[in-house]
Structure 1
Amino acid sequence: MKPPSSLVGYARCSVDEQDLNAQEQRLRELGVAEDRIYLDQGFTGTETERPGLDQALAAVRTGDTLVVPKLDRLARSAPDACAIGNDLARRGITLSLDGQLYDPTQPMGKMFFEILTTFAEFEVDLLRTRSREGLSGLTTIPETLARLEFSLDSPRVHGPHLGVLLCDIDHFTTITETWGDAFGDVVLATLAVRIRQTLRQGDTVGRFGPDEALVLLPGVHSIDNVAQIAEKIRCCAEEPIHHSGVTIQATLSIGATLAVPGESVETLRSRLETATDAAKEAGRNGFTCA
């Protein structure tokens, strides 16, 4: 076993202080001395500035071991983790993930490191997706698709047409890259509430993609009715979102159409995506009918 002086520990959490304490305790259990533990709190995995990690990487020397409780605490993504692994290999530093040693200078160790990185990124993405489904309060993507298919196959008992809207959040990736995933969650939840507030009784809204919502409007009489609702949603959505001292201007590009009785989900989706793309090309924060 290596002496404590050759072990350098690192832990990170975005907001949960209890989680950070648990990670610190685990590092001590793995033999890392108190003064050799470096921390980042309040920094999401997507942020490029992580002073605690910079200090930990500067503290390790050739022959030392960098100790991390979990791989997803170390890196933002698979490319980021591989870059850190390559740096450790170049400097002759071993990585310990919760006590399991990986020597990136050895081919087998490097292979396992990259495999673990890929699975860690998948796990984080999966948890993020589940978290956002809960935060938005909307039906899940499979449930939304099932409702759409049922609506397409059902007779028009509430009116002559079924209107459908595809609402895509403009520049959502830029929002999360600028302010972090936590702010992205706030935007998703806020826009979901605003969309629901604009709808009529009997209308439904559900998730249709990572940053998309699908709105079903039964009983409309023309595409003009659908356009009126789309404009109402657009106006409500563009109101600034204020959170933790930050103001975010989140807007929607909306594709609007009337469903054709008996058509497939794939055909309708293609038409909606074409209309949404047209709204984006026209400058975003608007809608296009197809």
Structure 2
Amino acid sequence: MKIAYARVSSIGQNEAAQVDILSRHGAEETFVDKASGKTRDGRPKLAEAIKFARRGDVLMVTRLDRLARSVIDLHAIAKELDGKGVDLIVTEQSIDTTTPHGRLMFNMLAAIAEFETDLRRERQLEGIAKAKEEGRYKGRPVTVDVDAIRAALAAGDRPMAIAKRFNVARSTVYRVMSETAAAN
């Protein structure tokens, strides 16, 4: 059986192009996640697709970066599939792990995918640093009224009640508590 897996990084993106390509390659069952590919966490449909696959099946993706963005995750997924007797086909990069050439391409492109992710992160950090230097980057706007939390703490309110009232995590209340104690 040909099992398809498609992934887009965010809710605003559309997986239709991937699903169409996989359907043209004979996908019989399709699983779609809308989540980051940096880790396997938070991708229930990937776990479901791997669990669904049986010996002799093929898991298809359009590109390796749709499956994972790190070499470690790609190899872990490939090893898990191999252990189940499931082959991997990457339709748009001509990778078929049933052949020696396909396994070589898989390993080379996995390394390149991770490299691209690292470069993107590096460029983003450089852009943020430059924007900060030029005074254009202010960071995320503060949404917590620290003074109001301090007042509630001073009034003897419990951290959990404060967190609910101000719609913040308890850890935020505890952070304000420790910062206040350190300042005194």
Query: Normalised by the shorter chain, which TM-score bucket?
Result: 0.5 to 0.7
Unaligned runs of 5+ in 2: 145-166, 173-184
C-alpha displacement of 1:239 = 7.3
Equivalent position of 1:155 in the other structure: none
Report if aligned partners of 1:72, 1:124 keep a CA contact under 8 Å in 2. no
State percent identity of aligned pairs. Answer: 33
Picking from 15, 26, 30, the partner of 1:20 is 15
Report the Cα distance in structure 1 between the residues aligned to 2:30 and 2:24, rounded to whole angstroms.
12
| Pair 113,237 (structure 1): closer, same or farther in 2 beyond 3 Å | closer
TM-score by length of 2: 0.64
Task: Report the aligned-residue RMSD.
Answer: 3.5
TM-score by length of 1: 0.43
Deviations 1:101-133 (A, max 9, x none): 4225x5554333211100111123334444555
Picking from 48, 54, 65, the partner of 2:58 is 65
| Pair 126,29 (structure 1): closer, same or farther in 2 beyond 3 Å | farther
Number of aligned pairs? 147
Instruction: Say which structure is richer in helix.
Output: 2
2:12 aligned with 1:8, yes or no? no
C-alpha displacement of 1:26 = 1.6
SS of the equivalent of 2:6 reads strand
Report the Cα distance in structure 2 between the residues aligned to 1:132 and 1:241, rounded to whole angstroms.
23
Report if aligned partners of 1:94, 1:101 keep a CA contact under 8 Å in 2. no
Report the Cα distance in structure 2 between the residues aligned to 1:237 and 1:131, rounded to whole angstroms.
13
SS of the equivalent of 1:116 reads helix
C-alpha displacement of 1:79 = 0.5
| Pair 26,240 (structure 1): closer, same or farther in 2 beyond 3 Å | same
SS of the equivalent of 2:15 reads helix
Q: Within 5 Å, which residues of 2 pair with 1:199-238? A: none
SS of the equivalent of 1:113 reads helix
Matching residue's letter, 1:15? S
Report if aligned partners of 1:40, 1:52 keep a CA contact under 8 Å in 2. yes
Report the Cα distance in structure 2 between the residues aligned to 1:85 and 1:27, rounded to whole angstroms.
19
| Pair 16,133 (structure 1): closer, same or farther in 2 beyond 3 Å | farther
Equivalent position of 1:38 in the other structure: 31
Report if aligned partners of 2:95, 2:106 keep a CA contact under 8 Å in 1. no
Equivalent position of 1:186 in the other structure: none
Report if aligned partners of 2:59, 2:89 keep a CA contact under 8 Å in 1. yes
Report if aligned partners of 1:11, 1:20 keep a CA contact under 8 Å in 2. yes
Bigger radius of gyration, 1 or 2? 1
Deviations 1:242-288 (A, max 9, x none): 8xx98898xxxxxxxxxxxxxxxxxxxxxxxxxxxxxxxxxxxxxxx
C-alpha displacement of 1:16 = 5.3
Report the Cα distance in structure 2 between the residues aligned to 1:109 and 1:71, rounded to whole angstroms.
12
| Pair 137,56 (structure 1): closer, same or farther in 2 beyond 3 Å | same
Report if aligned partners of 2:69, 2:110 keep a CA contact under 8 Å in 1. no
Equivalent position of 1:103 in the other structure: 97
Instruction: Say which structure is richer in strand.
Output: 1
Report the Cα distance in structure 2 between the residues aligned to 1:14 and 1:246, rounded to whole angstroms.
26
Report the Cα distance in structure 1 between the residues aligned to 2:105 and 2:47, rounded to whole angstroms.
24
